[in-house]
Structure 1
């Protein structure tokens, strides 16, 4: 296939929304990117619209039901901090970075989700120590490029303060700049989380979120400058994108409390789950309900009756529920029994005890129990699209794409690099490209 660019830099600004466009188009570096390239202000996300499924979709061009990353975390009933889909092995089929590597290209990824133990030349995967006996340094080193990560930590590790933002993104930025200048990768995937974090803990339109947008503009500028200083700017393509939007919320729905009351979840004296028949797996603005035995029709009928009663009262926070088959048609996990959508102002939590609905307080947020804005909602929610901006080698100038889908990004990026992801759910957005 004809290769349109030598260096593809994909920058994911987690939680960048269409609603942010009037702000970022006035910021100097985003403005420059928009002036020199083309963009789409209305990119439809996937269901559930959470970070790990979204980023797997971006690099595969497929919906979650095909690539297998159907949620951020595993089904681990009662576990206060379930493990995440960190590893490449969980992704079904090929990816953009796999195909680039096969073609002999140099690849790099910085905190890109679902890349632990991936065959990426310079890989700093997003993975964290999730158990008391784990330590962050060996966990990171064991799952990415050892010497590369040691070098980045030696040079820039002092910038980090654990997972806190904006310090973590500042570390990622300096590592990105250094990698561009010293490695000149053909494909680089970068994931910034500052905006997403500020929205979770301060609100969608908070001052903290607006400050994060300005920091992202500065980060974009630093990356462009690094490309110019390294001498590869003219041979490069820059993509800046979001994965999903977010909505403010203030009430947490704890459906597992109800399932427990009806004998569908059993716990011991220490509140540990000993057995279960049905479980609510939160995807924040949406949730799955899984049956331990998918053929347990009695439990399925009981859960369906409970849900039917709940949606009658809007104070319960559940907008609607659909079957697993219907969820599959929307690209989500068809193996679930049901998929639920939260109303505006609500989101789902997996806690097993307390009241069915919790009002989120400032103390809850400060202590990390709950958030005040989140995602995971249906793409059908109003004003819930994300964005894509592209400029540089192989990109048309001045084109405004009226709408596209997140699944279209992978095939389009593959086309830029002269690669083929095979049969995908998405299509190449040829209007963006100079073919």
Structure 2
């Protein structure tokens, strides 16, 4: 049965790291306050496991858990790469997406810094992709993975606002690019990913004054988006969705379990200091971590590793839970892992196999691109005070409906319904209480 399309223009605005905890504060800011008055919303949205940006944004456009869409982490498992590549490209994402189906139906789509869209069919695309090799140029890498002429125009007009990936400069650039796109392209589906708040919290901490200022900048951006829609004469035909992908938690200690695995000779390192082989290895997801066995069928090894981690944790209490493969699959995480490890509050994981197993975060390590962070995510979505939000205003949306709780997998089907699209492979469902 064909679904009736409810809106001509759908704007999906992702404020990376926006938390349920922020809802009270943003409700006092002028533009958020006015938006929420008219909105239907849920301020308790459970993200996916691991609660990372790329798995979450892939879920938003597919309605699937990471185990089904394939984006099970931010970064790829690339042995001996100090800076692994991220899941930048559309090719990593399994199955149908909201934007592909929209394009098939003749709609125009724009995406600005939306994760996992490089090399996609999006007509106006500036994907989130980094020059991850010393010889690469950021602008060229971005243009080769997106829409070249569109990006040329954006860089020419607004490139002066950007300073690498520093914030708030990057979001200031993305924001002006978004306003330009609204005015000049009028896409039927727009996806934009703002990272100012998330970056600021990583560097300064969840409750920092800097984070409050990032929320205030987002409030100004929201006001300018609404004004641009009104000035362009399309506000009354539009639907605006504001959402977060995950929350975050403050921490002050790093756990490098690969150091432990190396000491116990489960990881072998050559004379150059590179891993030449392993029986067991950890791949971090910040607040959680996957543990992979080279031989997944080795039950004795599995038991030995479990006992090793359990004994180690008796002394340090840095691991809140060790989930087996079946439990990981039930959570929607990577079905290829042997265990998924959940960090205790105050801890997060990295992949280093040299130095101390547990290391305290010191202020002098914090920089523009910090080696360590003061606040992070990737934890279980069911940790306390750790949910995110979903708010919507406009065509096809009821006014004033409040949903007690929902899941991130429900967002894709709900967004699709507004465009007359059914995500048939989705794990989530349409939240009919929001739909007019």
Q: How does the TM-score come out when normalised to structure 1?
A: 0.98
Structure 2 unaligned spans of 5+: none
**Matched residues in 1 for 2:295 and 2:162: separation?**
44
| Whole-Å separation in 2 of the counterparts to 1:73 and 1:374 | 15
Query: Deviating runs (4+, > 4 A) in structure 1?
Result: none
2:250 is aligned, of 243, 248, 251, to: 248
Work out which of the residue numbers 416, 423, 428 in structure 2 matches 1:426.
428
- Cα distance in 2 for partners of 1:186, 1:247 equals 36
Measure, in 1, the Cα distance between the counterparts of 2:295 and 2:113: 36
Where does residue 186 of structure 1 map in the other structure? 188
The one-character-per-residue Cα deviations of 1:62-111 (angstroms, maximum 9, x if unpaired) are 10000000000111133211110000011111000001000000000000
Q: For 2:393 and 2:313, how far apart are their aligned partners in 1? A: 46
Aligned position for 1:297? 299
Stretches of structure 1 lacking an aligned partner (at least 5 in a row): none
**How far apart in 2 are the matches of 1:292 and 1:218?**
50
> Hey, what's the Cα distance between the residues in 1 that align with 2:397 and 2:358?
49
In 1, are the aligned partners of 2:64 and 2:425 still within 8 Å (CA)?
Answer: no
Q: Distance in 1 between matches of 2:279 and 2:272?
A: 19
Number of residue pairs aligned between Structure 1 and Structure 2? 433
Q: Distance in 1 between matches of 2:418 and 2:36?
A: 18
Task: Determine if the alignment matches structure 1 residue 141 to structure 2 residue 143.
Answer: yes
Once residues 81 and 306 of structure 2 are traced to their aligned partners in structure 1, the CA distance between those partners, rounded to angstroms, is 25
Q: Secondary structure at the match of 2:28?
A: coil
2:285 to 283, 288, 296: 283
How big is each residue's C-alpha offset from its partner over 1:24-51, in whole Å with a ceiling of 9 and x where there is no partner? 0111111111111211110011100000
What is the 5 A alignment of 1:332-343? 332-343=333-344
Q: 2:379 aligns to what? A: 377
Deviation at 1:135, TM superposition (A): 1.7
Cα offset, 1:316, TM superposition: 4.1
Q: Could you list the per-position Cα deviations for residues 260-285 of structure 1 after superposition, in whole angstroms to 9, with x for gaps in the alignment? A: 11111122223211112211110000
Correspondence for 2:366:
365
Could you tell me whether the CA contact under 8 Å between 1:43 and 1:403 is conserved in 2?
A: yes
Aligned match of 1:203 in 202, 205, 229?
205
Aligned pairs for 1:1-400 (under 5 A) are 1-313=3-315, 315-366=316-367, 368-400=370-402
Conservation of the 8 A alpha-carbon contact between 1:265 and 1:275: yes
Alpha-carbon separation, structure 1, partners of 2:188 and 2:91: 23
The residue matched to 1:33 in structure 2 has which SS? helix
Q: RMSD of aligned C-alpha atoms? A: 1.0
SS in 2 for 1:312: helix
Give distance in 2, aligned partners of 1:371 and 1:118.
Answer: 32
- Secondary structure at 1:40 match in 2: strand
- Mapped to 2, the partners of 1:340 and 1:263 lie a distance apart of 20
List per-residue Cα deviations over 1:236-289 (Å, max 9, x = no partner). Answer: 000000000000000000000001111111222232111122111100000000
Separation in structure 1 between the aligned mates of residue 395 and residue 196 of structure 2, nearest angstrom: 28
Q: Quote the Cα distance in structure 2 between the aligned partners of 1:61 and 1:425.
A: 6
TM-score w.r.t. the length of structure 2 is 0.98
Deviation track 1:167-203 (CA, whole Å, cap 9, x = no partner) reads 0000000000000000000000000000000000100
Contact 2:47–2:407 (8 Å) recurs in 1: yes
| Paired residues of 1:326 and 1:334 also in contact (CA < 8 A) | no
